């Protein structure tokens, strides 16, 4: 069975993010940089630095996504309450 999954670089190139998602954009840019012709880290310290940079940026991006999901949830609840009030007015 052939693997039709695009490679990471291809997936990153196709990633579109809202402008407000700064940390996620930074993560995508960082991953793009490390999937290009980056040399393999030669020392343990260099490897740990890269892993730390990616890990920290990933965490910031994840927290940003969670915050945005919370905002979306609040907005949907408000819309639901407004629709409920409209239905009650029309009844």
In-domain check, residue 43: yes
Q: Is the residue at 75 inside a domain?
A: yes
pLDDT in tens, 4-44: 667 878 888 888 898 989 999 999 999 888 888 777 888 99
pTM of the full structure: 0.73
Give all strands (DSSP E) within 18-79, no chain letters.
none
Backbone dihedral angles phi then psi of residue 71, each to the nearest 5 degrees = -60, -45
Q: Please report whether residue 23 resides in a domain.
A: yes
Structure tokens at 59: 């965490």
Q: What's the structural domain count of the chain?
A: 1
For residues 64 and 71, give the distance between their C-alpha atoms in angstroms, rounded to a whole number.
Answer: 11
Q: Is residue 83 part of a domain?
A: yes
| Residue 47 resides in a domain | yes
Q: Which domain holds residue 69?
A: 8-90
With respect to residue 1, please indicate whether it lies within any of the assigned structural domains.
no
């Amino acid at each position: 069975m052939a693997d039709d999954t695009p490679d990471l670089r291809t997936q990153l190139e196709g990633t579109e993010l809202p402008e407000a998602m700064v940390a996620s954009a930074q993560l995508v840019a960082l991953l793009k940089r490390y999937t290009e012709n980056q040399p393999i880290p030669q020392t343990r310290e260099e490897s740990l630095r890269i892993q730390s940079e990616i890990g920290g940026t990933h965490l910031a991006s994840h927290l940003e996504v969670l915050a945005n999901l919370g905002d979306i949830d609040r907005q949907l609840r408000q819309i639901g309450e407004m629709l409920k009030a409209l239905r009650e007015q029309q009844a």
